[in-house]
Chains A and B, each alone.
Chain A
Amino acid sequence: MGPFVARRLLQMVPVLLGVSILTFALTNLLPGDPARAAAGRHANAEQLEAVRDRLGLDRPLPVQYAMYMGRLLQGDLGTSLTSKQAVAEELRLFFPATLELLLATMVIAVSVGIPLGVFTATRRGSWADRAFLGFSYFGVGMPVFFMALLLQIVFAGWLRVLPIAGRLGLETVPPPTFTGMYTVDALLVGQWTTLLDALRHLLLPALTLAMAGTSEVARITRRSMLQALDQEYVRTARAKGFPERTVWLRHALPNALLPTTTVIGLQVAFLLGGTVLIENLFSWGGLGTYAWTGIFRMDIPVIMGITLIATTVYLIVNLGVDLVYARLDPRIRYE
């Protein structure tokens, strides 16, 4: 396992380099004055000059890139045009809320999607299977921002059972900060009412985001279960007289989970995009809301900061997926 992890980490280096070159190119090479992009529309000539000097915009491009890399490695992602705060600092503040939302979404997608996929595969062609296939079109085709509106109308507007906005009720005092995720922090100090309130607020945005992921995970699990159930070893297992449940769960499922793992990793990329689309609607004070205001004000340093952090998260998740893969499938490790 050790050499595999090392090799996999080494493979990330050129990709990370490429990612930084692309973001550098986006901010610095496109038509328009990068100094103006960094200083804002209302900067005067003196401020522009100062920014030009600080970013080294009069130097040759490779030097500029080296300076950019140097700043990135020191964790300097530039300054927000609107708040005048360091982007890295603001990202650190907003990140936990989004991480909480992502984790909750993944828990729903995996814990509903995998059993649903297994269930429908083992009852292929039944009404439940067909109903699920119909529903999965709904889950995959529904624009996530529209899904958010629908759920808000139903649960918050008509049924009035769930809060529509925010991470906690107005009367609830946030728990002491350890991780910045309210549910986890409340759990750590044992504030049960706060935990319950945070969970209630988490439910609607997480359900919204989980809709597409759950459908996708279930579809892939169903398909690969069906393929696995066609295999010779399943026939062998059945011939040996194992109960059907054992054949499904102990023989077919572990093999079927490989494609599911890939899909879960890919889903994280879509979720990161999804948070940008829905966080603002739910007044969820995370990266998505931060991105939304950044777009609204065309705050390029903020948008680039979010791009970099989202890409880093995605790369880490993919690394995790590959490690899980190597665990599930020994052939990969020894390749």
Chain B
Amino acid sequence: MRSAAFWMHDRRLVAGILIVGLFAAMAAAPWLFTSLDPAVLNLEGRLTPPSPGHWLGTDSTGNDVYTRIVYGSRTTLGTVIAVLAIASLLGIAVGSISGSIGGWLDNLLMRTTDVFLAFPPLILALAINAVLGRGLRQTVFAVALLWWPAYARLVRGQILAVRRQEFVESARVIGASRFRIIRHMLPNVIDPVIVRLSLDAGFVALTAASLSYLGLGAQPPTPEWGRMVAEGQMFLLDQWWVAAFPGVVLFILVVGFNLIGEAVGDRQDLQTRGSTATVASPAKEK
């Protein structure tokens, strides 16, 4: 473990953690941030401009936009965590099997990742989500299905890099089972996975919000930022606050994730440069 000081002098990282931390706090304890209910029907108070009672105004069902944003952080962060958990676990499983067993299975699995990577990302997610039907769970599944191949390839590459190292050879010599050998190798491949997770979080948030914006993801009355932008865009010129604030908030969260991702990624570059970092031919990296 590095000391806190090692990490904290990177201002990008501090800013990113503050931003993501704020939304994480909102998601964990929304009642600390607002005392209102995110989903009620209050037609008398609909589309009122920002005021002391409703900081960011109300939407077309009379709901407080600020409250819906606070509760919406739950939807977005929950989606990001679920997608990345599924994608990385699946990717680690496939990648470590592929890399350590090799042969035709490796070939088959890698050609499968090729196929998934051949689709434009949002389009594939959209197709899967549409076939599965509207809903947040379907969106999580669709986006996770989009992201696992990247992790599978990353882990496979790492496994290939460590499998000729001495500790693996020794494990093999003393007759450790395949599964046990994989278990020995995994801790060595985990760092790049973490870096990748931090780099991907922002894109996952954007993709999930895009699907909800298109009407495929979270369904009303679940508060979701992309969906809120879609609902608000018809009042854009007169009641701009309905669409504007959820859009801004989504943007801020994505920037927060990206700041963390870049800081962590640069740190990884510095640590590995010249040692295990190999420059792959970009023409094959697809």
Given A15-B114, A22-B115, A27-B131 in contact, is the A310-B243 Cβ separation under 8 Å?
no
Query: Shortest Cβ distance from A213 into chain B, in angstroms?
Result: 13
Question: Which A residue's beta carbon lies closest to that of B247?
Answer: A146
- By a CB distance below 8 angstroms, the chain B residues around A153 are 236-237, 240
User: In the assembly, what is the distance between CA of A68 and CA of B286, in Å?
Assistant: 28
Query: Shortest Cβ distance from A212 into chain B, in angstroms?
Result: 10
Tell me if A30 counts as interface (CB < 8 A to partner B). yes
Name the one of A30, A281, A325, A332 contacting B131, with C-beta atoms under 8 angstroms.
Answer: A30
Instruction: Decide if A149 touches B202 in the complex (CB within 8 Å).
Output: no
Question: Which A residue's beta carbon lies closest to that of B233?
Answer: A149
Question: Which A residue's beta carbon lies closest to that of B207?
Answer: A273
Query: Shortest Cβ distance from B117 into chain A, in angstroms?
Result: 9
Which stretch in B48-56, B96-104, B208-216 binds the other chain? B208-216
Question: Do most interface residues of chain B lie in helix, strand or loop, or is the interface mixed?
Answer: helix
Query: Shortest Cβ distance from A169 into chain B, in angstroms?
Result: 20
Instruction: Decide if A26 touches B131 in the complex (CB within 8 Å).
Output: yes
Give per-residue flags for A129-145: 1 if the beta carbon is below 8 A from chain B beta carbons, else 0.
00000000110111111
Tell me if B187 counts as interface (CB < 8 A to partner A). no
- By a CB distance below 8 angstroms, the chain B residues around A303 are 126-127, 130-131
Residues of B in contact with A, size category: 35 or more
Given A27-B131, A307-B119 in contact, is the A281-B259 Cβ separation under 8 Å?
no
- By a CB distance below 8 angstroms, the chain A residues around B116 are 22
Question: Which A residue's beta carbon lies closest to that of B229?
Answer: A146
Tell me if B121 counts as interface (CB < 8 A to partner A). yes
User: In the assembly, what is the distance between CA of A326 and CA of B127, in Å?
Assistant: 33
Which stretch in A86-94, A182-190, A242-250, A293-301 binds the other chain? A293-301
Given A272-B120, A273-B121, A314-B120 in contact, is the A18-B114 Cβ separation under 8 Å?
yes
Tell me if A306 counts as interface (CB < 8 A to partner B). yes
Tell me if A51 counts as interface (CB < 8 A to partner B). no
Query: Shortest Cβ distance from B100 into chain A, in angstroms?
Result: 23
Tell me if A155 counts as interface (CB < 8 A to partner B). no
Instruction: Decide if B214 touches A269 in the complex (CB within 8 Å).
Output: no
Instruction: Decide if B283 touches A23 in the complex (CB within 8 Å).
Output: no
Give the residues from 111 to 166 in chain A that come closer than 8 angstroms, CB to CB, to chain B: 137-138, 140-146, 149-150, 152-153, 157
Which stretch in B63-71, B161-169, B250-258 binds the other chain? B250-258
Question: Which B residue's beta carbon lies closest to that of A296?
Answer: B215
Query: Shortest Cβ distance from A205 into chain B, in angstroms?
Result: 15
- By a CB distance below 8 angstroms, the chain A residues around B127 are 23, 26, 303-304, 307
Instruction: Decide if B250 touches A146 in the complex (CB within 8 Å).
Output: yes
Q: Give the A-B contact count at a CB cut-off of 8 A.
A: 149
Tell me if B18 counts as interface (CB < 8 A to partner A). no
Question: Which A residue's beta carbon lies closest to that of B202?
Answer: A141
Question: Which B residue's beta carbon lies closest to that of A274?
Answer: B122
- By a CB distance below 8 angstroms, the chain B residues around A332 are 281, 283
Query: Shortest Cβ distance from A230 into chain B, in angstroms?
Result: 12
- By a CB distance below 8 angstroms, the chain A residues around B119 are 19, 22, 269, 307, 310-311, 314
Question: Which B residue's beta carbon lies closest to that of A12?
Answer: B118
Give per-residue flags for B130-144: 1 if the beta carbon is below 8 A from chain A beta carbons, else 0.
111110000000000
Instruction: Decide if B115 touches A143 in the complex (CB within 8 Å).
Output: no
Instruction: Decide if B283 touches A325 in the complex (CB within 8 Å).
Output: yes
Tell me if B172 counts as interface (CB < 8 A to partner A). no
Tell me if B285 counts as interface (CB < 8 A to partner A). yes
- By a CB distance below 8 angstroms, the chain A residues around B216 are 295
Closest 5 pairs (CB-CB, A-B): A273-B122, A18-B115, A146-B247, A269-B120, A141-B254
Which residues of B line the A interface, CB within 8 A? 111-112, 114-116, 118-124, 126-128, 130-134, 202, 206, 209-210, 213-216, 226, 229-230, 233, 236-237, 240, 243-244, 247-248, 250-251, 254-255, 258-259, 281-283, 285-286
